[in-house]
Amino acid sequence: MSPYEQIEAVYNAHPQELPFWRYVDYHHRRGYVYSNQDYFVMGRPVIKESTQDLIADPTHAFPKELCNCWFVHAMAGNIGKALEIMPWPLGWIGFERLRAGVKDLTFLPTEDLCRLSRSSPDAARQLIS
């Protein structure tokens, strides 16, 4: 199963507010989507200090010049390779995790996550899962 198919299967098993293809479409319009046999990743630039609702909303576009974080909406496959293709450098990477059944945003310095993924891809994967 390709990384794209892995993410699509997660969305099918755990339905979200929108179908998977709509999230892909929104990220094509306001962020980025990269998919190949090694990884799938979609995200968009956000302002880390914004509200959780705005950051998690793929329909919301932040002014590019004010953004300081890549919010990764979905990722599967080789995290190290996926981190190498950020459209431009930003200081933070954010993602949403489920903790005790509650969605929670987590932010890590980009440099730290990239360094960890190069030295220990499994550790980096566990950190963001």
User: pLDDT tens across 7-55, in order?
Assistant: 999 889 888 888 999 999 999 999 999 999 999 999 999 999 999 999 9
Q: Residue 124 pLDDT more than 60?
A: no
pLDDT in tens, 76-105: 998 888 888 889 999 999 998 767 777 789
Confidence of residue 120 (pLDDT cuts 50, 70, 90): low
Per-residue model confidence (pLDDT) at position 95: 92
Domain boundaries, the chain: 3-128
The CA–CA distances, whole Å, from 13 to 7, 43, 90, 105, 128 equal 10, 21, 32, 22, 20
